[in-house]
C-alpha cells in the first residue's frame, strides 16, 4: 500500500471516529447540562472528564488531518478538506462526503449545546455573586 493510500485510509478512519466521538460528546454534554441544572458536583466532574477526553481525541485527529492536508499541499482553508475528499475514488468519496457533512452537523450541535451550558454556568455564577454580595449585613462577621 502506498503512502498516499495509507494517508487516505487514515483520514477515512478519523472521520468515522470523529462521528462516533461527537455523538458521544453530545451525550456527555447533555448529561452535563442535566447535572448543571441539578447542581450535582460529582456528575459535573465526571461529565467534564469525559468531555475533555473526547475533545483531546478529536483534537489529535484534527491535527492529523491538518498534517495530511499539508503533505498533499492542499492548504488549510475551508475548501482544503473538499480537495482532499476529491482525491478518493468515487465509491469511497461518496461515503466520505456524507460522513463529513454529518460530522459538520454534529460539531455544530455540540457547539450549540456547549454555548447553552456556558450560559447556564454564567447564570449560576451570577446568582452566586448576587447571593454572596447582596445582603452582606446578614453574613456573620466578628465584631472587633
Q: What is the pLDDT of residues 84-119, one digit of tens each?
A: 999 999 999 999 999 999 999 999 999 999 999 999
Which of the pair, 124 or 22, is modelled with greater confidence?
22
User: Tell me: domain 3-121, CATH 1.20.58, correct?
Assistant: yes
Contact of 21 with 57, CB cutoff 8 Å: yes
State pTM to two decimals.
0.83
Query: Which pLDDT does position 127 carry in this prediction?
Result: 79
Mean pLDDT calculated for residue range 68-96: 93
Q: Which residues contact 125 (CB under 8 A, 6 or more apart)?
A: none
Q: For residue 120, is pLDDT > 80?
A: yes
Query: Which pLDDT does position 88 carry in this prediction?
Result: 96
Q: For residue 137, is pLDDT > 60?
A: no
Burial of 131 (0-12, 13-18, 19+ CB in 10 A): exposed
Amino acid at each position: 500500500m502506498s503512502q498516499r493510500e495509507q494517508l487516505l485510509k487514515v483520514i477515512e478512519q478519523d472521520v468515522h471516529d470523529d462521528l462516533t466521538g461527537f455523538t458521544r460528546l453530545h451525550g456527555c454534554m447533555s448529561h452535563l447540562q442535566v447535572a448543571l441544572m441539578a447542581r450535582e458536583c460529582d456528575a459535573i466532574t465526571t461529565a467534564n472528564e469525559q468531555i475533555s477526553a473526547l475533545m483531546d481525541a478529536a483534537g489529535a485527529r484534527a491535527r492529523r488531518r491538518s498534517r495530511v492536508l499539508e503533505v498533499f499541499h492542499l492548504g488549510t482553508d475551508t475548501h482544503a478538506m473538499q480537495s482532499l475528499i476529491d482525491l478518493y475514488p468515487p465509491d469511497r468519496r461518496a461515503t466520505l462526503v456524507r460522513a463529513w457533512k454529518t460530522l459538520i452537523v454534529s460539531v455544530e450541535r455540540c457547539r450549540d449545546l456547549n454555548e447553552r451550558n456556558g450560559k447556564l454556568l454564567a447564570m449560576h455564577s451570577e446568582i452566586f455573586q448576587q447571593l454572596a454580595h447582596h445582603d452582606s449585613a446578614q453574613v456573620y462577621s466578628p465584631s472587633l
